[in-house]
């Protein structure tokens, strides 16, 4: 596959892992404080990432100072994104926060065009824009939920954009597993510090299984989100971030019994169509 096709597959894998992780955390139904939940998941995920990286010989910390700076920016952005997203989520309807976050393919693609001088043709801009329209049909945000807390959701968009662009800046010889481990440890340490200020809830066997499953999926989510920014052109890969909503629709149906409305299905169809069109265009370009 071409680098762009590889990046598209990695982006879809990343979105799938993030969505399955979110579904498992949602199944805990608030039985644990959020900081405790993220800390326990992070401890297990970081240990598994370290063991896997050591096993594969893919862990190396002798990295150039400039790359360490990019890793530090990326990790800090990861923590900031989590903080701003959760704060906004606690004060705004989910649909409104989700709609704001779907600006990400646009901000990341434009950021890559400005910072890395990546080509941003009208077809790619059209695919991103049409995908965003499909997303709006899915989440259907209402104006009553927008308030000053929307600034927190926008701050989360900025953090994720900076995170992805910093990842793109990393040298090719920096192991992705090292970046994955540092990101996981940073979020875990911050969650641990936050959880130390409050009471902990008991962990039942069911909660333990859910946290374990979420740990495995977050490993894939972290790793694929690092790898995807290191191959291909961001403006091509960006629309495939919308596929996370398709997974959310399917998991909402199977796990929580949420049957999509006809408008939601129309929006999902638009998202899928833009992805298929983008892949089709890449195949034509590769053939030429």
The pLDDT of 252-260, averaged and rounded, is 75
- What is the number of alpha carbons within 13 Å of residue 135 lying toward its C-beta? 28
Structural domain range at position 44: 3-287
Q: How far apart are CA 221 and CA 22, in angstroms?
A: 11
Residue 47 contacts residue 277 (beta carbons within 8 Å): no
Task: Please answer whether residues 103 and 156 qualify as being in contact, where contact means their C-beta atoms are separated by less than 8 angstroms.
Answer: no
pLDDT per residue as tens digits for the range 130-180: 878 877 776 666 665 556 777 888 888 899 999 999 998 899 889 999 999
User: Based on the structure, what is the number of domains in the chain?
Assistant: 1
Q: pLDDT of 42-83, one tens digit each?
A: 999 999 999 988 888 888 888 999 999 999 999 999 888 878
The beta strand positions in the chain, using DSSP E, are none
Q: What is the mean pLDDT of the chain?
A: 83
| Residue 100 tokens, joined | 């704001």
d(CA 28, CA 284): 45
Which residues fall within 8 angstroms of residue 151, CB to CB, at 6 or more apart?
none
pLDDT value, residue 92: 66
Cα 83 to Cα 274: distance, rounded to the nearest angstrom = 31
């Amino acid at each position: 596959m071409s680098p762009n096709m590889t990046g598209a597959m990695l982006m879809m894998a990343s979105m799938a892992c993030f969505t399955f992780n979110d579904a498992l955390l949602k199944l805990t139904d608030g039985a644990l404080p959020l900081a405790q939940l993220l800390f326990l998941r992070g401890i297990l995920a970081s240990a598994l990432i370290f063991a896997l990286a050591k096993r594969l010989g893919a862990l190396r910390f002798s990295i150039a100072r400039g790359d360490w700076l990019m890793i530090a920016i990326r990790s800090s952005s990861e923590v900031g994104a989590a903080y701003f997203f959760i704060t906004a989520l606690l004060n705004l309807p989910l649909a409104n926060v989700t709609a704001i976050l779907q600006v990400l393919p646009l901000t990341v693609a434009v950021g890559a065009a400005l910072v890395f001088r990546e080509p941003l043709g009208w077809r790619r801009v059209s695919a991103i824009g049409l995908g965003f329209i499909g997303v709006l049909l899915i989440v259907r945000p209402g104006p009553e939920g927008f308030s000053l807390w929307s600034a927190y959701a926008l701050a989360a968009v900025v953090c994720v954009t900076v995170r992805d662009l910093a990842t793109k800046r990393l040298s090719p010889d920096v192991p992705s597993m090292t970046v994955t481990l540092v990101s996981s440890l940073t979020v875990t340490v911050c969650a641990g510090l936050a959880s130390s200020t409050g009471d902990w809830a008991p962990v039942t066997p069911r909660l333990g299984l859910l946290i374990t499953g979420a740990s495995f999926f977050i490993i894939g989510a972290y790793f694929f989100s690092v790898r995807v920014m290191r191959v291909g052109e961001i403006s091509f890969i960006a629309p495939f971030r919308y596929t996370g909503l398709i997974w959310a629709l399917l998991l909402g149906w199977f796990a929580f019994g949420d049957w999509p409305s006809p408008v939601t299905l129309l929006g999902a169809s638009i998202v899928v169509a833009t992805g298929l069109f983008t892949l089709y265009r890449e195949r034509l370009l590769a053939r030429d």
